[in-house]
């Protein structure tokens, strides 16, 4: 089985989009997407310097646009192939159909989740670009409120590393793999970490504007929740993994909701790689600017073939890999089961719902309570409650699974679950 991966912020380098613009149709697509974004992607991806593309509000749209551009020419006929999900493709084939026919799973790291959502057909390219534009702006604004940053911790004992972060009040914002954790927090906290690092660990400050995937990003989450409420979505056409816990998400709105909450919650790329292994993935292709994720895959899943799609010169090798590992799975948008997850950190308070109860669409199974608010946990599509994964009164973290439901096809209101 083949998986397609999309990198996150920090992977961008000056000029990385330039060679892709020479392919037929790509410059036209980029021009249109630039209008959607109100950003000149062609200039930013060719002549802008490292400082300019480090800006969060620029880096994130640039990464998603580049990933979509490369994906649009990845499949055998080599022509830009983005269409509209569920609509006739006309003279252009539909990239979403190509992904569904050739790719067993898609996943993205942090902002790469938006690229992955578009590749899986959950979002149109335009919706993905508008969402990432607003995500980048909101996160940049949140980062400007307090001087914060991120530092990669390489090596060291895992428990000792996490204990040191807790001692200093830092967050493990990215758990990328065994021996690779990214700490995030205030600059004075990161300075204290640099002065007294965990034994056996090497530190590498990251070129990012703030403490992403921590509580410092809460204002950005609020903004994105407002947008997500009206965002058009569709069901994924292939297996789509979530950064929250590595699980496969089979409901478009649920994935977008997780994506929004992920802005202030840790990225568990280690769990995504575990899921890829459990799914039987035999090869991965990382979209540009590629390199980081395939490096992690090589260490975590050494038997998996990898390809970093850096320039168009790599397309022939990528297409050979697709042909070798393509896996047209029989995938249904109707899930065999669905997880309900915690929307934020707090204490879970369950309703009186019991195992075996058939819940209608929109049923509330409980709420997560913090000192400031209480947020309901809603079974948006309904189903039969088959398992509680937490107990009443348990502390929970954002994205933590709370309950498992099966579709109940005997109920008319659940036919589309």
Q: Which residues are catalytic?
A: 110, 213
Token pair 């397309």 in the structure block, residue: 315
Instruction: Give Cβ neighbours of residue 72 (< 8 Å, ≥ 6 apart).
Output: 25, 26, 29, 80, 81, 82, 95
- As beta bridge partners, residue 375 has 368
Strands 283-286 and 2-6: parallel
**Residues 193 and 164: beta-carbon distance below 8 Å:** yes
8: its two tokens: 């996150």
Judge whether 185 and 169 are in contact, CB under 8 Å.
yes
Which position has the token pair 């509209």? 84
Relative to beta strand 346-350, strand 358-359 is: unpaired
Token pair 């478009």: residue: 252
* CA nearest neighbour of 218 among 145, 269, 324: 145
Q: Which residues contact 191 (CB under 8 A, 6 or more apart)?
A: none
CA-wise closest residue to 353 among 376, 384, 325, 322: 384
Q: Who's near 332: CB < 8 A, 6+ residues apart?
A: none
Separation between Cα atoms, residue 242 and residue 225, nearest integer Å: 17
**Structure tokens given for 249:** 């998400």
Q: What is the spatial distance between Cα 92 and Cα 343, in angstroms, rounded to a whole number?
A: 39
Q: What b/e sequence results for 191-225 when a residue is b if at least 16 CB atoms lie within 10 Å of its CB, and e otherwise?
A: ebbeeebbeebebeebebbbbbbbebbebbbebbe
Q: What is the DSSP string of 131-174?
A: HHHHHHHHHHHHHHHS-EEEEEEEES-HHHHHHHHHHHT-EEEE
Q: Which two tokens stand for residue 366?
A: 């409980």
Question: Are the C-beta atoms of residues 60 and 108 closer than 8 Å to each other?
Answer: no
């Amino acid at each position: 089985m083949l998986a397609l991966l999309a990198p996150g912020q920090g992977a961008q380098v000056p000029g990385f989009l330039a060679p892709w613009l020479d392919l037929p149709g790509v410059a036209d697509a980029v021009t249109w997407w630039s209008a959607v974004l109100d950003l000149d992607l062609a200039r930013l991806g060719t002549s802008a310097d490292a400082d300019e593309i480090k800006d969060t509000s620029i880096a994130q749209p640039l990464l998603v646009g580049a990933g979509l551009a490369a994906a649009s020419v990845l499949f055998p006929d080599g022509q830009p192939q983005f269409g509209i999900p569920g609509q006739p493709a006309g003279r252009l084939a539909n990239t979403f159909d190509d992904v569904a026919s050739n790719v067993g799973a898609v996943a993205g790291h942090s902002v790469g989740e938006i690229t992955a959502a578009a590749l899986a057909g959950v979002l149109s390219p335009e919706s993905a670009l508008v969402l990432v534009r607003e995500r980048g702006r909101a996160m940049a604004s949140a980062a400007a409120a307090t001087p914060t940053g991120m530092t990669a911790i390489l090596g060291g004992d895992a428990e000792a590393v996490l204990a040191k972060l807790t001692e200093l009040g830092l967050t493990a914002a990215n758990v990328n793999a065994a021996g690779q954790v990214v700490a995030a927090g205030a600059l004075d906290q990161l300075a204290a970490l640099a002065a007294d690092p965990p034994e056996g660990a090497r530190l590498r400050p990251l070129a990012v504007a703030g403490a992403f995937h921590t509580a410092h990003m809460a204002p950005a989450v609020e903004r994105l929740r407002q947008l997500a409420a009206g965002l058009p979505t569709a069901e994924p056409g292939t297996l789509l993994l979530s950064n929250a816990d590595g699980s496969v998400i089979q409901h478009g709105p649920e994935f977008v909701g997780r994506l929004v909450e992920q802005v202030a919650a840790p990225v568990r790329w280690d769990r995504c790689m575990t899921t890829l292994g459990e799914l039987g993935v035999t090869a991965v292709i990382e979209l540009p600017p590629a390199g980081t994720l395939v490096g992690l895959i090589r260490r975590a899943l050494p038997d998996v073939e990898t390809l970093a799609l850096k320039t168009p010169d790599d397309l022939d090798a990528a297409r050979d890999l697709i042909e070798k590992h393509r896996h047209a799975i029989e995938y249904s948008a109707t899930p065999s089961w669905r997880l309900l997850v915690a929307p934020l950190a707090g204490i879970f308070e369950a309703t009186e719902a019991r195992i075996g109860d058939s819940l209608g669409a929109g049923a509330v199974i409980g709420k997560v309570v913090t000192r400031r608010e209480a947020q309901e946990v809603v079974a948006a599509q309904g189903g039969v409650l088959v398992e509680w994964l937490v107990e009443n009164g348990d502390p929970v973290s954002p994205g933590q699974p709370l309950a498992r439901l099966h579709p109940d096809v005997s109920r008319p209101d659940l036919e589309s679950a």
